[in-house]
Amino acid sequence: MKQVYLDNNATTRIDPMVLEAMMPFLTEHYGNPSSIHDFGGPSRGALERAHQQVASLLGADHASEIIFTSCATEATSTAIHSCIELMPERREIITTTVEHPATLAVCEHLERQGYLIHRINVNSNGALDMAHYQQALSTRVALVSVMWANNETGVIFPVETMAEMAHEYGALFHCDAVQAVGKVPIAVSKTRIDMLSCSAHKLHGPKGVGCLYLRRGTRFRPLLRGGHQERGRRAGTENIAGIVGMGSACELAQIHLPGMAAIGQLRDSLQDELVNIIPSVMVMGGNQPRVPGTANLAFEYIEGEAILLLLNQAGIAASSGSACTSGSLEPSHVMRAMDIPYTAAHGSIRFSLSRYTREKEIEYVIASLPPIIARLRLLSPYWQNGKPAAADAGFAPVYG
């Protein structure tokens, strides 16, 4: 069966060149980079090279500003905890309502310990309320943590401006750049961002490895204590194969960066064609700057899991912010934060492309999806005779 993978914001396929770079470190080069003997040498060299490769993609000035971690979640946790430990007199944190759970759950935990958490709202386009941000800033704020691009909508936030603003109040700025690295050019040294998290498996690298960028001169407290690995900033024997994979993936991502424009065009054609063919569709964050590969479409009056099941049957992999797919009973926190009408929030589908996505695959999706939507709408009591059911003549359920 034909298979089309459009869930690259969840994870990506590993680039064969990345795998090739990793293989020796899963086989003959098994030495510990901390060892003094000859077995440690190749691992130590590879580790240094990977630092440089990642620093180069992020536009960091120094390779030592990169701290490898087990994932971006660990990097984010490290950043937040380090910051609040160093600034115990500052008891407020600013984040957004649409952050990844890696940030939100840590903030909730700190809230229970007495921290005041400001969660900046977004409007229905997915854009941050900058007036709200300005209001929340004060010298009581220890840290601002905002994502570079949202994972569900792809909307890019003005993190560079926000970092400048944070520094006016002496607050540190952390950026979750998981969905932006390798998709938009980043020159972190030119910004006032102090810490930045990213992950290898979102850019055709392996799972189980991420990194924290830590600007030189930024005070820091490690999350994991133990050995002196990563200059004592992240203890634990390095996942050398994973780190080599991340380095290699970053180098390749830099080479492929100019090709992102073409992915953006493919995304636009997918989204525009579907909006033309299918009635009652909303593009989430469609009028905002977005990362090139992400299109989040809300198909009104039908439910996302049902769409995904039929797409899966057609060999197409996407994801949904609907309640039923997440195991929760409410639509995703991003859809709720954007205040998308319930008619649409339950039917939101995220397509995320990668450099492996081909035009004929997009054509296949454009051909396959309209009959699926029509079929489910035929089943929906909110949709009658090819259009939304009239409020008076239609469906009058006994509760809700």
Partner 1 sequence: MWNYSEKVKDHFFNPRNARVVDDANAVGDVGSISCGDALRLMLRVDPQSETILEAGFQTFGCGSAIASSSALTELIIGRTLSEAATVTNQQIADYLDGLPPQKMHCSVMGQEALLAAIADYRGETLADDHEEGKLICKCFGVDEGHIRRAVLTNGLTTLEEVINYTKAGGGCTSCHEKIELALADILAEQQAVPITFIAEKDPHWQEVVDAITELRPHIQADGGDMSLVNVANHKVTVSLSGSCSGCMMTDMTLAWLQQKLMERTGCFMEVVAA
Q: Which of 207, 193, 243, 291 is nearest to 67 (CA)?
A: 243
The contacts of residue 336 (CB under 8 Å, 6+ apart) are 330, 345
CB of 115 to partner 1, least distance (A): 20
Catalytic site residue 324?
Answer: yes
Of the two residues 161 and 328, which places its CB atom closer to partner 1 in the complex?
328
CB of 91 to partner 1, least distance (A): 25
CB of 303 to partner 1, least distance (A): 5
Q: Which of 250, 202, 245 is nearest to 353 (CA)?
A: 202
Of the two residues 60 and 307, which places its CB atom closer to partner 1 in the complex?
307
CB of 382 to partner 1, least distance (A): 5
CB of 330 to partner 1, least distance (A): 5
The contacts of residue 286 (CB under 8 Å, 6+ apart) are 125, 271
Of the two residues 270 and 340, which places its CB atom closer to partner 1 in the complex?
340
Of the two residues 111 and 330, which places its CB atom closer to partner 1 in the complex?
330
Task: Give me the helices (H) in the chain, please.
Answer: 16-22, 40-58, 72-86, 101-112, 130-136, 159-168, 229-232, 240-256, 260-277, 304-313, 323-326, 333-337, 342-345, 359-379
Q: Measure Cα distances from 204 to 14, 24, 31, 157, 356 in Å.
A: 4, 18, 25, 23, 10
Q: Which of 94, 178, 91 is nearest to 130 (CA)?
A: 94
232: left (phi over 0), alpha (psi -120 to 50) or beta: left
Handedness of CA 15, 45, 187, 90 (dihedral sign): positive
Of the two residues 97 and 239, which places its CB atom closer to partner 1 in the complex?
97
Question: What number of H helices and E strands is found in the chain?
Answer: 14, 15
Of the two residues 47 and 282, which places its CB atom closer to partner 1 in the complex?
282
d(CA 363, CA 266): 10
CB of 310 to partner 1, least distance (A): 8
On whether the CB atoms of residues 176 and 40 are closer than 8 A, the answer is no
Reported residue count of the chain is 400
Question: Which residues of the shown chain bind partner 1 in the complex (CB under 8 A)?
Answer: 301-306, 309-310, 312-313, 322-325, 327-331, 342-343, 346, 378-382, 395-400
Which residue, chain included where needed, has tokens 């194969």? 241
Q: What is the helix (H) or strand (E) element at residue 392, kind and residue range?
A: none
Q: Measure Cα distances from 16 to 23, 92, 124, 232, 358 in Å.
A: 11, 45, 40, 32, 17
Catalytic one of 71, 175, 211, 324:
324
Of the two residues 272 and 305, which places its CB atom closer to partner 1 in the complex?
305
Of the two residues 114 and 397, which places its CB atom closer to partner 1 in the complex?
397
What is the bridge-based pairing of β-strands 141-147 and 172-176? parallel
DSSP string, 82-145: HHHHH-TT--EEEEETT--HHHHHHHHHHHHTT-EEEEE-B-TTS-B-HHHHHHH-STTEEEEE
Residues marked as catalytic: 324
